[in-house]
Amino acid sequence: MRRQWAARCILGLKESSPLRSEWESIGVVKKITVATSGGGVVAPHIGDDVWNPWEDEQADALSALHKQREAFRQYQERIDKNRPKRNKVQIWGKAAIGLYLWEHILEGPLNPTDIHTQWREGEIQVGKIDFSFYTGPAVIQGHVPLDTDSVVLVLNGREQQKISYATRWLQHVQTLIQFHAVNRVAVVLLGSERCTNDWISPYLRRHGGFVDLLFLVYDSPWVNDKDVFQWPLGVATYRQFPVVMPNSHMVSSTRPFLCNFLGTVYKNSSRETLMGILKQTGLDKECITTGREKWLPQETVESLRRYQTALAQSEITLCPVGINTECYRIYEACAYGSVPVVEDMVTPGGCSAARSSPLRLLKAAGAPFIFLKDWKELPGLLEKEKMMSQEERTERRRRLLEWYSSFRQQMKDRFTEVLEEAFFKNS
């Protein structure tokens, strides 16, 4: 600093000045010349360094810039620290109930939209989880682009052929675990209608396997809300039943029919009893009823249209038991605001026979259904239905649609919260 001051001062001295000569002779500064060529002044030399008259100002500017950058870096670190951590989960839909999970519960998009496409996929953020979903015949073992170590596998275990297929997928995931490509696994399982699901037991972590969580359809006695959770059957997506968006017309319109039942009527079943009662009392004329003797796995475009029209034009939907009390018809009726009338009886098999069964999950959620112990009660129920005002029917419909929307939101929250707790709590 002193040399810089001296250099500034000497520029103001005449070349013949004794002080200037003295400073040059003792080496405070080298001999100074002022050049006119090149259009500028040759700077005085401070020792071996070129003097920069703006050095202090530049140093201050650089220091301020450094402080600003450091402050911004610390700000970014605070933002990153406070930003919720996102976790990735892939869902492999190898059973039709995967579409109910993805489109109806998680409300995720699917591309392409064509339901007949061999490969479909989608992404959605729910809570702290970034979900990706893959489904379709072309989604095969070893060809899913795995970008996470957390996988949910959606499987069908209703019959032996389906179980064999599901087992192959479980074995594939087991191989991925052995190679450390996957660490956390959950299974959503369309289980046996008689709740006989012993085949999957060895794969559960509590039995020495690798499946951390099991979401299981029907009132299985395995459900403990720790590692086994009950899951809703949902609508028949395998028959292309769509996502139905409620509207004001659905709530307030006058529906021309009291009830509906379109389905397979098995010999010596309660469905046969139901159809007989409707015919004997003449109430079949006030309801849309179509019975068939043989179950058909697929709907035609026309049969699906007729079925949806029946739901949309009926006040109530009759839901007799099949192999299990829980059936697709219950959820499909809810989607159209047609109150399910449920045969409240436990079916034979290994499902829970506790007081809360059947339909344990739906009852716990406060489902606004009509429960009958015997179809002989139906004529009296339909007489009461005739006496209801349009305002009462509209209000009941509104409550049902709101409940069904709330139920799906509850399932969405529950699914994601269970995954977050089991998969990512300690990560």
Reported as a pLDDT band with limits 50, 70 and 90, residue 78 is confident
Please give the residue that has the higher pLDDT: either 290 or 414: 414
User: Is the pLDDT score of 215 beyond 50?
Assistant: yes
- pLDDT single digits (tens) 110-169: 999 999 999 999 999 999 999 999 999 999 999 999 999 999 999 999 999 999 999 999
Region 52-76: mean pLDDT is: 76
pLDDT digit string, tens, across residues 164-191: 999 999 999 999 999 999 999 999 999 9
Residue with tokens 């369309």: 190
Residue type, 23: W
Pick the closest to residue 375 from 315, 319, 296 (CA basis): 319
pLDDT tier for residue 263 given thresholds of 50, 70 and 90: confident
Q: What SS3 class is residue 76?
A: helix
**The pLDDT value given to residue 77:** 72
Q: Hey, what CATH class is 239-408 in? A: alpha beta
Structural contact between residues 283 and 223, judged by C-beta atoms closer than 8 angstroms: no
Using the predicted structure, report yes or no on whether residue 55 has a pLDDT greater than 60. Answer: yes
**Among 1.10.3470, 1.10.10, 3.40.50, 3.30.70, what is the CATH number of 82-231?**
3.40.50
Domain 82-231 and domain 239-408, same fold? Reply is yes
User: Looking at residues 63-92, what average pLDDT do you find?
Assistant: 79
Q: What is the mean pLDDT of the chain?
A: 88
Pick the range with the lowest mean pLDDT from 25-29, 49-53, 406-410. Answer: 25-29
With 70 as the cut, is the pLDDT of residue 79 above it? no
With 0-12 / 13-18 / 19 or more C-beta atoms within 10 angstroms meaning exposed / middle / buried, residue 22 is: exposed
| Angle, CA of 93, 95 and 98, to the nearest 5° | 50
List pLDDT tens digits, range 317-365: 999 998 999 999 999 999 999 999 999 999 999 999 888 999 999 999 9
* β-sheet with 370-372: strand ranges across: 287-292, 257-264, 314-319, 339-343, 370-372
So where are the chain's domains? 82-231, 239-408
What is the rounded distance in angstroms from the CA atom of residue 231 to the CA atom of residue 203? 19
Torsion of CA 61, 65, 70, 75, to 10 degrees: 130
Q: How many CB atoms lie within 10 A of CB 421?
A: 11
Torsion sign (Cα): 324, 328, 329, 330: positive
Q: How confident is the model at residue 301 (pLDDT cuts 50, 70, 90)?
A: confident
Confidence at residue 300, expressed as pLDDT on a 0 to 100 scale: 81
DSSP tag of 205: G
Task: State the Cα angle at 252 between 251 and 258, rounded to 5°.
Answer: 85
